[in-house]
C-alpha cells in the first residue's frame, strides 16, 4: 500500500490545497494499492507559477548542462527499474515479465536517447541574411494516460527538458504511482526547483485547469480522442500550442502470396500487436485484413495462436501471457463491444464476453477473435482497448487500402507482404503516422503520432524535440 499524500511543486513535496484523496485500485486484486492527493485548480496555479519562475534560468542553461540532467534522470530510472515495473504491473495489469522490458525499460531508453538528441539538434540555421533560431516554447502542461503511464510521461518530459521548457505534469489518476517515482528521481538528480512539477487529480479539475491556464504556453496530451477534443477546445481560449496523441483503430494488412511460413509469422506478429498489454494499446493492430481467398486458412491459424495466450497473475515472474484490464469500467466496456460484435453478425471464433474461469477476482477478459467482420461494424470502427481482434476479408489490394483508410483514425498500421518492397508500396498508401513492415519492431527514436483524429504533432526522437521549440527569424 503506497500512501502518497503530497504533490511535487517548486522542488518540494507539499500538501494539496484540498483535502480529498483518490484510491488507486490494483488491476488483478481489485483492492486499494495506494492513495494520492486529489489536486485542485489552486494547486495547478502554484505549479504553473513555479514553472514560469524557473523557465528563465532553465532555458538559459547550455544544452550540454541540460543533457547532463537528462542523463541523471535516465540513470535514476534504470536504478529503480524493478520498482517501476512491479508498480505498473499492479496498477495497469501488464505481466511483470513484459512490464520490466516495456513499462520500465522503454522510458529509460527514451530518456537516455535525448542526451545526444539534445546536444546534436540543429537550433540555428542561416537562410541568406536571416538567422533562424529555435527557442523553448515555455511552460508545458503534460497530461498523460494510464496504459503505458511512465513511457507516455517520459515521451513528453524528456524532450521538453531538452528543449529548455519547464513542466507541470498531471498523470492519469488511474495509474499515478509511477509518476511519484519519477518526481523522486528528479529531486535526487538535483533538477532545479520549478523545472518539473507534479499535480495529481482528475481530468475535469486538474487537467482542464492546465489546458486553459493562461501561463501554460503549450499542452501535450495523450489519451482518448474525445478527451483530446476537450483539451484542444480549452487550449484554444488562450491560443496555446497543442500536441495530441489520441486513439487508433490500426489495420494490419496481410498481402496475397505469402508462404505458409510467412503467414505464420504474420499471424503471430498481428496477434502480438493486438494483445499487447491485454489490448490496451493505442497502436494495437485490431483489424487484420486478409485476402478473401485466404480467410479460412488465416482464421484457423489465428484461432490456434490466440488460444495460446493464457491469462495469469501479472506479478508472477514466469507469466508471459495476458494480464487483466485496468478497471471494472474498462472490462465491462470491452465485454460490451464483444456482445455488440455478435449482435451485428460477426463470427465469434474464440473468446467471448463471459468471465474467464478461474479469474473471479481481477478485471480479466478472454482473448477474443472475430471473423467475417465488415468494416462498417462497430467493432471495426471504434477503439475497443481490449484483447479483441477483427478479421476482415478483402477482394484486392486496392480494396485492402480502402478498408485500412476507412476510419476516423490514422495512428498506426502494419503491412506484411511476400517481400519488403511490395509491403512498402502498400504502406505508403495507408493514412497513418507510422507503419510497421513485415513485423518490424518499434523504434523509440522514430517520429510517433497520427493522421486524422488520431492527433496532431509528433513524439520521440528529434521530431519530438521540435514540438517544444518555437521558430524565430532574425533578419540581420
Dihedral of alpha carbons 377, 380, 381, 386, sign: positive
3-state SS, 367-419, equals: CEEEECCCCCCHHHHCCCCCCEEEEEEECCHHHHHHHHHCCCCCCEEEEECCC
Nearest to 143 by CA among 233, 231, 18, 42: 231
> CB-based burial of residue 49 (10 Å sphere; 0-12 exposed, 13-18 middle, 19+ buried)?
middle
Q: What's the per-residue H, E or C state across 87-122?
A: HHHHHHCCCHHHHHHHHHHHHHHHHHHHHHHHHHCC
Question: Which SS3 state, helix, strand or coil, does residue 430 take?
Answer: coil
**Grid cell locating 471:** 521558430
Catalytic residues: 245, 282
Q: How many residues in the chain? A: 476
Nearest to 396 by CA among 259, 291, 250, 249: 291
Q: Which residues contact 184 (CB under 8 A, 6 or more apart)?
A: none
Three cell numbers written together for 381: 470502427
Amino acid at each position: 500500500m503506497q500512501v502518497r499524500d503530497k504533490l511535487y511543486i517548486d522542488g518540494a513535496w507539499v500538501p494539496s490545497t484540498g483535502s480529498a484523496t483518490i484510491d488507486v485500485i490494483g488491476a488483478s486484486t481489485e483492492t486499494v494499492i495506494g492513495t494520492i492527493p486529489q489536486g485542485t485548480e489552486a494547486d495547478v496555479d502554484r505549479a504553473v507559477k513555479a514553472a514560469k519562475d524557473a523557465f528563465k534560468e532553465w532555458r538559459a542553461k547550455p544544452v550540454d548542462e541540460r543533457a547532463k540532467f537528462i542523463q541523471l534522470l535516465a540513470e535514476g530510472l534504470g536504478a529503480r527499474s524493478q520498482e517501476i515495473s512491479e508498480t505498473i504491473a499492479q496498477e495497469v495489469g501488464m505481466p511483470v515479465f513484459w512490464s520490466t522490458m516495456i513499462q520500465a525499460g522503454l522510458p529509460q531508453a527514451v530518456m537516455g536517447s535525448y542526451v545526444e538528441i539534445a546536444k546534436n539538434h540543429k537550433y540555428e540555421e542561416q537562410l541568406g541574411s536571416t538567422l533562424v533560431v529555435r527557442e523553448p516554447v515555455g511552460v508545458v502542461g503534460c497530461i498523460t494516460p494510464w496504459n503505458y503511464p511512465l513511457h507516455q510521461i517520459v515521451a513528453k518530459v524528456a524532450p521538453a527538458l531538452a528543449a529548455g521548457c519547464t513542466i507541470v505534469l498531471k498523470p492519469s489518476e488511474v495509474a499515478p504511482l509511477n509518476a511519484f517515482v519519477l518526481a523522486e528521481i528528479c529531486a535526487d538528480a538535483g533538477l532545479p526547483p520549478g523545472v518539473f512539477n507534479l499535480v495529481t487529480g482528475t481530468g475535469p479539475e486538474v487537467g482542464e485547469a492546465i489546458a486553459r491556464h493562461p501561463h501554460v504556453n503549450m499542452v501535450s496530451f495523450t489519451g482518448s480522442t474525445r478527451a483530446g477534443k476537450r483539451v484542444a477546445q480549452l487550449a484554444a481560449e488562450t491560443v496555446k500550442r497543442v500536441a495530441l496523441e489520441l486513439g487508433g483503430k490500426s489495420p494490419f494488412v496481410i498481402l496475397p502470396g505469402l508462404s505458409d511460413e510467412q503467414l505464420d509469422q504474420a499471424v503471430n506478429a498481428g496477434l502480438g500487436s493486438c494483445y499487447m498489454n491485454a489490448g490496451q494499446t493505442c497502436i494495437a493492430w485490431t483489424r487484420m485484413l486478409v485476402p478473401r481467398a485466404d480467410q479460412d486458412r488465416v482464421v484457423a491459424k489465428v484461432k490456434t495462436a490466440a488460444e495460446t495466450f493464457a491469462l495469469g497473475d501479472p506479478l508472477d515472474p514466469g507469466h508471459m501471457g495476458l494480464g487483466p484490464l485496468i478497471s471494472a469500467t474498462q472490462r465491462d466496456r470491452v465485454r460490451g463491444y464483444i456482445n455488440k460484435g455478435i449482435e451485428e453478425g460477426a463470427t465469434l471464433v474464440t473468446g467471448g464476453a463471459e468471465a474467464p474461469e478461474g479469474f473471479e477476482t481481477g478485471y480479466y477478459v478472454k482473448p477474443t477473435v472475430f471473423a467475417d467482420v465488415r468494416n462498417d461494424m462497430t467493432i471495426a470502427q471504434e477503439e475497443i482497448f481490449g484483447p479483441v481482434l477483427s478479421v476482415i476479408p478483402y477482394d484486392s489490394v486496392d480494396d485492402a487500402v480502402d478498408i485500412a483508410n476507412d476510419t476516423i483514425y490514422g495512428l498506426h498500421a502494419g503491412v506484411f507482404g511476400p517481400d519488403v518492397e511490395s509491403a512498402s508500396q502498400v504502406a505508403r498508401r495507408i493514412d497513418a503516422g507510422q507503419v510497421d513492415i513485415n513485423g518490424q519492431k518499434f523504434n523509440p527514436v522514430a517520429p510517433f503520432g497520427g493522421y486524422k483524429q488520431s492527433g496532431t504533432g509528433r513524439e520521440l526522437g528529434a521530431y519530438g524535440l521540435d514540438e517544444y521549440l518555437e521558430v524565430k527569424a532574425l533578419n540581420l
